[in-house]
Structure 1
């Protein structure tokens, strides 16, 4: 298998190595491209790894929202496929769950096996690949929920030590705390369900009150608990409670082609991705959503729940009835519109769908067709094998930068990207900035080093600016220069005033759009970096003892002056001495007061 011919995503996710139709290895990665490529671009000492690589005939990927999601998903897929080259996971062991028992006074415990997921005896949250014990301790500290083995049907003479440590309300002795106790349990569940903002707000209020009353040790304890609560609130979408049984169903039309991606979740675990593409050329359809869904579920099993994109809701009534009739049971359809568990899952499905679309349009034959279309329609001097695109990023001329993205054979080539800090003037003159960048880029390049095509993000003014520089350098005869105007995506060619309009579905236009968007993204990130450094320097320059190194350390830690202002003295002391931390707080506050006074 030639790994160079496979378009591997750079996202976090899971990779499945196959021999024929059989999965022989499952792995996860923070960057799929780097991890998978490492199997093929080096000699392996381990004999088992060499044997694995020899047997790989094809690869499949499932992109995840985060590395943590990939970790959980890898665990699920290993159990499903039992791949030959993976370590065998026996006894249904999994990542730990937090359980609340179904009793008058529920207790909190940790379980480590899916065999213990008995919904009759408790409520389950997780899994938690790391931090489960700390999370349980945090919940006990905040909500004072018991984790003992005492029989709650009895009344004991005295509570255990945890009551005296203020880690339990003592329901084994004080039976009148039932209402308060159950409320605490419900708040803990609310937090674990991702609806803990009100709990966090309450915790912040307690912290602030303790601080105002000079109970600093208690305030620090609340602050530490608050951090753990905020960490615990981060969602994991790769596995949920045992009852979840649903499909994440997304599709999109690009040009005359339909792309479909379905993530299958069974027993609360994402277990499979199904992707397909269909040519719509010459096809006739009245309602595409209805036809795609009925065609798919005529060939695949129907789960209890199906999650679709929100724009399909208005066409869902007949689809819902058909699915219910086909399966013989009520099927629930969901169209999430706000941040939620299902929205997170839908985002993951859309990530995979968009990757499938990108992969299709970056295939060699599709790109070649797009490049040939640009060559013939625009009547270029050469087929644009190398295209360089420029974009200017600035706010009223401040911290102005230019960025250059590059496409080779129609594919983005990030290692060729360049960024330029504008030197000529600090006023908002895009034409002059574009002239400067063009001269810096092309004045020293020889004829064979020039691109085939230069793309400018802008209209006729920016196009003319670059054209004049290339003429001055006597290099305009060796290449072509065009621009793309954002409003109507019009393409202008140097020397012509009538724009070219490409159909939105044309790969030729998509090549230019991808380049333009990349140049903009690359430039904006560089501009923000320079602006943050300038703002930080200007506000901290007047504070004695804060030099370049300490400025850099503060920027790295807090990101911006706003971040420094929000930080407390304790946090600043992780970077500065106590005296300097106080000086910074006083200096920034004084600066703010001066500005306010001046405005008045």
Structure 2
């Protein structure tokens, strides 16, 4: 999860509109969002500055009225403001003030775009999230549909290695997300998990698990999205022990799923491009054969990075059997059960 852009209305003697990514739930400022990207947030900021201008040293009643109008705007209650702009537009056309009229027409178009897009009638302006969960072997994938004022404003996706039970992993994901983003009024999930009740209490939202109807359909949609992504994982072992804090999982987009080798290349480039020479791990173990290992080596070479890369071959019973290197012959474990057990554990993880 990451920090999404929000629109902030500051309080105090000099109130103004701001686009921020970090929110302070204890401040008197008001937040609207999240938005899918920064450009959309800035467009809305410019629109609000035109529709509901803030000024220095305004009376508190004026400031409160502006906030009320902004809330109505995000709830889609824009009939009054649109009526005023349309009347002004007609007058400007009559008076041949075409440049002003053109700007007003653009404002009307923007209002329609931001207040009517993807409005879900059955949500009735509710702020809510729908969580989809999918387990793929030892990985738990999440897909969150984020609705604000009845509109789908953003989505979030993440994947975690399963280090405990599913409930713990789910709690970790949601805790991390709502620490960075505004929690909804209600979180909808396919089934209630006891530990999430405490989370809901902490972040002050309701937890519901509808079993039928439109909301159940949206949960199913989130579930389907959680299943669609391919997950690439980089598990970090330090002194033979897995370190989940340093391990990373990446969800690859559909365009990156052409083949197993292309997925490996894409994931390696995403993961290792932030490394500088000399900072790579001592050994990279690829869960795959010689072709997969060569793709990793080639990607590292393109990034001008060097370290030892090996692959792991399995026998006919799908057990870790041999070590693959650049040499034509595969290496046996011999009598070294300790290395064999460690590499088997790596491959199973």
Do they superpose with TM above 0.5? no
* TM-score relative to the length of structure 1: 0.25
* TM-score relative to the length of structure 2: 0.39
Larger fraction in strand? 2
Considering Cα pairs closer than 8 Å and 6+ residues apart, tell me whether 1 or 2 has the greater RCO.
Answer: 2
